């Protein structure tokens, strides 16, 4: 595969640049609100990146000055909104992103360039790391429309900031600016707007330069530790370590360290 591969659709741009897979929400005129068709493309891109050995890190961005304003409610007009079909809209379409993210063992970074609202914020929360522009604002605004968070907000947010603060944001739908989002732990870094792209690229590049199997095993181990006990976690990490040590990249890392040079990883 070439170093750079790009697939451009009207609403979603998917590309591979070196070892970084990129997903760009490309509806700035609609504040990057997503459609049902975008959800399918988005989930497929995540699954393709998981299967593609060239890709070691994935970044999600929004085009323009908004990260994502959630679902495009106009796209839902005319749909059969019986309770059963409304449930299927969530489980068969919206939730496929969360399921694809759960299957992704590679680092997933959100570049939050502007407002992230409702399901748009949930899409950022399910990422492993969030870097925000100073212009970013976040809100779980479902309640303002008489709705409950439908894209994992009630799952992800309490795990990041604690139950009481999560309930406050979920109940009120209030906005936090970038600095308060950083203080509360919703985002991990804040930078100037003109520095966001460079910072995200720099961080993704650093991760892509690490041994891929080790990076992915670390993510897997952290996930497993969230629902297990210490003894189980130690047992699993012993197995993970044995697998990682058997790779060519592990041997290359040791050789490079002893020879005082930069390692060259091949993903095996």
Q: pLDDT digit string (tens) for 158-193? A: 999 999 999 999 999 999 999 999 999 999 999 999
**Domain at 4-208: CATH code:** 3.90.226.10
User: What's the angle, vertex CA 43, arms to CA 40 and CA 48, rounded to 5?
Assistant: 120
**Domain at 212-259: CATH code:** 1.10.12
pLDDT in the model for residue 135: 96
Q: Which is nearest to 1 in space by CA: 23, 22, 24, 17?
A: 17
pLDDT 10s digits, 102-146: 999 999 999 999 999 999 999 999 999 999 999 999 999 999 999
The answer to whether 4-208 and 212-259 have equal CATH topology is no
Whole-number Cα distances in Å, 135 to 23, 119, 175 = 20, 19, 12
pLDDT in the model for residue 63: 96
pLDDT in the model for residue 2: 43
Query: Over 60: is that where the pLDDT of 64 sits?
Result: yes
Coil vs helix vs strand at 13 = strand
Q: How confident is the model at residue 8 (pLDDT cuts 50, 70, 90)?
A: low
Q: What DSSP state is assigned to residue 15? A: E
**Nearby residues of 78 by Cβ (< 8 Å), 6 or more positions away:** none
Q: How confident is the model at residue 1 (pLDDT cuts 50, 70, 90)?
A: very low
Mean pLDDT, the chain, rounded, equals 93
pLDDT 10s digits, 188-211: 999 999 999 999 999 999 999 999
Q: How confident is the model at residue 80 (pLDDT cuts 50, 70, 90)?
A: confident
Each domain of the chain, given as residue ranges in start order, spans 4-208, 212-259
pLDDT in the model for residue 74: 79
């Amino acid at each position: 595969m070439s170093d750079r591969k790009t697939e451009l659709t009207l609403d979603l741009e998917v590309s591979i640049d070196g070892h970084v897979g990129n997903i760009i929400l490309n509806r700035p005129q609609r504040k990057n609100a997503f459609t049902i068709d975008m959800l399918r493309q988005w989930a497929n891109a995540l699954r393709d990146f998981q299967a593609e050995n060239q890709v070691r890190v994935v970044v999600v961005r929004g085009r323009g000055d908004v990260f994502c304003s959630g679902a495009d409610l106009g796209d839902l007009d005319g749909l059969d909104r019986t309770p059963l079909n409304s449930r299927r809209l969530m489980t068969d379409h919206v939730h496929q992103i969360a399921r694809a993210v759960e299957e992704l063992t590679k680092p997933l970074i959100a570049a939050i360039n502007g407002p992230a609202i409702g399901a748009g914020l949930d899409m950022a929360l399910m990422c492993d790391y969030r870097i925000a522009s100073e212009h970013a604002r976040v809100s779980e605004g479902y309640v303002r429309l008489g709705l409950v968070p439908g894209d994992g907000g009630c799952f992800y947010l309490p795990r990041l900031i604690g139950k009481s603060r999560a309930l406050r944001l979920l109940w009120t739908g209030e906005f936090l600016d970038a600095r308060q989002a950083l203080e509360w732990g919703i985002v991990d870094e804040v930078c100037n707007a003109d520095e966001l792209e460079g910072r995200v690229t720099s961080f993704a590049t650093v991760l892509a330069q690490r041994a891929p199997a080790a990076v992915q095993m670390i993510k897997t181990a952290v996930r497993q530790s969230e629902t297990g006990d210490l003894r189980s976690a130690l047992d699993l990490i012993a197995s993970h370590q044995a697998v990682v040590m058997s790779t060519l990249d592990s041997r290359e890392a040791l050789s490079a360290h002893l020879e005082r040079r930069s390692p060259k990883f091949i993903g095996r």
